[in-house]
Chains A and B, each alone.
Chain A
Amino acid sequence: MTAAWLAAELVLVADRDAAPGAPIRLAASRCSACGRCSFPATGACAWCGAPGSDPVPLSRGTAVAATAVLHRTPGAVVEVPFVVALARFGQAGLDVLGRVPRAADPAAVPAGTPLRVVAESLPDGRLHYAFAVAQ
Chain B
Amino acid sequence: MSVIIAGVGLHPFGRFPLSVEELARVAATEALADSGVAYADVDLTIVANVGEGMAKAQRIAGRLGATGRPVISVESACASGAAALLAGRDAIESGRAEVVLCLGVEKTPRGFIAGAGFEPWQEASGLGVTPVYFALQAQELLAATGGTVQDLAAVSVKNHGHGVLNPNAMYRSPVTAEQVLQSKMVCPPLTLLMLCAPNEGAAAVVLMSAGQAGRRSITRPVTVRAVALATRSPGDWFVPAPSRLSQVRSSPTLTAAAAAYQEAGLGPNDLDLVECQDTDAASELIAYADLRLCAPGDEVKLLRSGDTRIGGRIPVNPSGGLLSKGEPLGASGLGQVHELVVQLRGQAGHRQVSGARAGLAHVMGAGHVSAVTILAAA
Contact = CB atoms under 8 A, between A and B. Distances in A.
A36 B111 CA distance: 37
Contacts of B136: 65-67, 84, 86, 97
B243 A39 contact: yes
B119 interface: yes
Interface stretch (B83-91, B180-188, B333-341): B180-188
Contacts of A7: 119, 121
Contacts of A90: 246
From A67, A80, A88, A122, name the one whose CB has the most chain B CB atoms within 10 angstroms: A67
Select the residue from B139, B189, B234, B243 with max chain A CB neighbours within 10 A.
B243
Contacts of A36: 234, 245
A103 interface: no
A93 B245 CA distance: 6
B54 interface: no
A95 interface: yes
Contact of B124 (A39, A76, A105): A76
B188 A128 contact: no
A82 B234 contact: no
A65 B144 CA distance: 12
Chain A interface size range: 35 or more
A74 B125 contact: no
A75 B125 CA distance: 9
Interface in A114-135: 122, 128
Interface residues of B, number: 33
A99 B125 contact: yes
Given A10-B121, A39-B243, A95-B244, A76 B185 contact: no
Interface string B229-257: 00000100100001111110000000000
Nearest to B140: A65
Contacts of A111: 143
A59 B260 CA distance: 42
Nearest to B142: A65
Given A36-B234, A67-B187, A67-B188, A77 B124 contact: yes
Interface in B185-213: 185-190
Contact of B127 (A28, A65, A89, A98): A98
A94 B235 CA distance: 11
Contacts of B247: 93
A71 B245 contact: no
Contacts of B355: none
B51 to A, nearest CB: 14
Interface of B: 111-112, 114, 119-121, 123-129, 132, 135-136, 139-140, 143, 185-190, 234, 237, 242-247
12 contacts: A6-B124, A28-B243, A67-B136, A70-B185, A70-B187, A77-B124, A77-B126, A84-B136, A95-B245, A95-B246, A97-B132, A128-B125
